[in-house]
Structure 1
């Protein structure tokens, strides 16, 4: 009888301790989720082309800085970029914005292509660029004079990578697209809206575009051929539908890092425990990115439109914060999911420390 009483008392004590521990953890999580300023942040992938009076205030609210990522696109007028606008923003708010230059393969057959590209990058690095972006032009859009799509591992680009290694400048690589781009439109897929509104990138409709596997293979070969070049694979390396694919590459390439901008819907479409384990295992190789930005000059927007834009942007950052920091039930790009509830230590790495280390911002 005495033994029975002792066991019952012990179980009550253990249960009480466990409950108290769980309550303490829950309280700590709740406090963290509600205190957005508790962790410094760098959004390593943003596109704020046009200035906004509210942007400095919003960044201060989130205790955040942003990398303005340039993109080079060829249209009927030539090469279109946002670099000049970004440079102006960074010069006006050096405590707020960092710069990322860009490279495109147009004119790769020209004898002075490499020289001209390196001269451009030199100027922009001297002006403050901390990184250079290559886009899905490589593999999906830009062709050489023979009509072949230029893959990112093209040997004609190697002198540029060698130059960037010498300057210790990393590359942000958005190579390829989500696998969904090579499939029929699926209303239940997180990317349905994008390909419906941007059919030019829906590779399923353009069989001449190289396959997903071809483009990813070329990207992998490029990373393997340049082990001394730090590479940040944007959008989880266009493998966001399967964190195991990302894991396999991170295990294979020590110079590869990833960020999940605009691919949180793909993460939400996978088992939360599996995704959480991925973040925990690669907590030193994942950077926070949003892909948020704007495309309309402030002077042609009404005060109500600007206020709505600000509120939507704040809510978008808040949803990503809740996904990473809480265990809340969420809907991200139509995908029902549960927050990852990452520890404060891991959040600090993903939101801030990893970007500081990767871009050497000390």
Structure 2
């Protein structure tokens, strides 16, 4: 039998709580709408999307697809934002492919594009993992996230009062050798291009510490560390940066598997940093995913799958609910995002 065919069924008899709707209304602060991550809603009637969000009790949906390019940003502003401006927040991005042509003027040029995107209606900046892993300058040198030439980008986002959502690096195991000890072996076997061995790539801690440097150097800018600060495996590290930097926030998107397998530490973390945590799924407007997140945050259910897929995609383990108090859930579901996004 191959590992992919191993589907053990637990014999535990435990409470299973259905949570079809959240206890309070929600702002989804990290998601997508187009392929490959959002489900292709840009090719479906927009009223269907609003009905789906209403069913999930999601009042505002943050679409990060504009980070892929200005053409996508303009399309989504027209298709989603214009018909229902109160329901969507769209983020812009940086076209790193222009660096070889722009050379030392790239930072100022990119900043000027952010100002233009703001005129169109963008309300935030999305930075994705190519920065630190793939982006190269005019001399074909890898660009670090804390490169001083990027300063105009961070300063301009701050002047626009834009939150800067950052996903750099990836799960820690993606930087480890693919051996029988790698806890994400199955995922990396299915997606070998997700592995970033060092060399030739920088080490995980090199990239994540570059991110922390940027947050510290730019206190006037609000940064959101995607996926639990880009380091869900180490809540102590994330907590230390939250302690140091009041301009640092995190979202919980795509990390139920990490948070739910350390429920005691995660619950303490959520209680301590309740004012700095944003809700998000990074799974498109999927009811199944929303309901898993609601179950995780609201119930004390034990040992359940963190994904609608069986086996779960990130690792073959199950999770435990955090059973958070109402005041904390209200902040995470919406209040923190309303404050940060000025909604």
Separation in structure 1 between the aligned mates of residue 225 and residue 125 of structure 2, nearest angstrom: 12
User: Could you tell me how far 1:183 is from its partner in structure 2?
Assistant: 1.2
Greater share of helix residues, 1 or 2?
1
User: Could you tell me how far 1:283 is from its partner in structure 2?
Assistant: 0.2
Give the gaps of 5 or more residues in structure 2: 1-16, 35-40, 307-311
Other-structure match for 2:217 = 225
In terms of Rg, which structure is larger? 1
- After the TM superposition, which residues 306-345 of structure 1 pair with which residues of structure 2 at under 5 Å, given as runs? 313-329=286-302, 330-332=304-306, 333=312, 334-345=316-327
Please give the per-residue CA displacement for 1:273-329, whole angstroms capped at 9, x wherever unaligned. Answer: 211111000000000011123xxxxxxxxxxxxxxxx8xx21111011100100112
Say what the alpha-carbon RMSD is for the aligned residues. Answer: 2.3
Please give the per-residue CA displacement for 1:15-47, whole angstroms capped at 9, x wherever unaligned. Answer: xxxxxxxxxxxxxxx8xx747254111111111
Please give the per-residue CA displacement for 1:92-133, whole angstroms capped at 9, x wherever unaligned. Answer: 222321111112433335254234322321122122222101
Q: Decide whether the 8 Å contact of 1:243 with 1:278 is kept in 2.
A: yes
Q: TM-score, normalised by structure 1?
A: 0.78
Separation in structure 1 between the aligned mates of residue 186 and residue 280 of structure 2, nearest angstrom: 20
Separation in structure 2 between the aligned mates of residue 269 and residue 37 of structure 1, nearest angstrom: 22
Aligned residues: 305
Which 4+ runs in 1 deviate beyond 6 A? 186-190
Q: TM-score, normalised by structure 2?
A: 0.82
Separation in structure 2 between the aligned mates of residue 202 and residue 159 of structure 1, nearest angstrom: 31
Greater share of strand residues, 1 or 2?
1
Separation in structure 1 between the aligned mates of residue 281 and residue 250 of structure 2, nearest angstrom: 12
Structure 2 CA distance for partners of 1:63 and 1:173, relative to 1, 3 Å: same
Q: Does 1:182 align with 2:175?
A: yes
Structure 2 CA distance for partners of 1:124 and 1:292, relative to 1, 3 Å: same
Other-structure match for 1:105 = 96
Q: Does 1:39 align with 2:24?
A: yes
Please give the per-residue CA displacement for 1:82-101, whole angstroms capped at 9, x wherever unaligned. Answer: 32332121112223211111
Q: Decide whether the 8 Å contact of 1:90 with 1:98 is kept in 2.
A: yes
Separation in structure 2 between the aligned mates of residue 127 and residue 290 of structure 1, nearest angstrom: 26
**Correspondence for 1:118 among 103, 107, 111:** 111
- After the TM superposition, which residues 1-362 of structure 1 pair with which residues of structure 2 at under 5 Å, given as runs? 34=19, 36=21, 38-49=23-34, 50-51=41-42, 52-53=44-45, 54-64=48-58, 65-70=60-65, 72=67, 82-87=72-77, 88-108=79-99, 110=102, 111-185=104-178, 191-192=184-185, 194-204=187-197, 207-270=199-262, 272-293=263-284, 313-329=286-302, 330-332=304-306, 333=312, 334-361=316-343
User: Could you tell me how far 1:61 is from its partner in structure 2?
Assistant: 1.5
Separation in structure 2 between the aligned mates of residue 242 and residue 112 of structure 1, nearest angstrom: 37
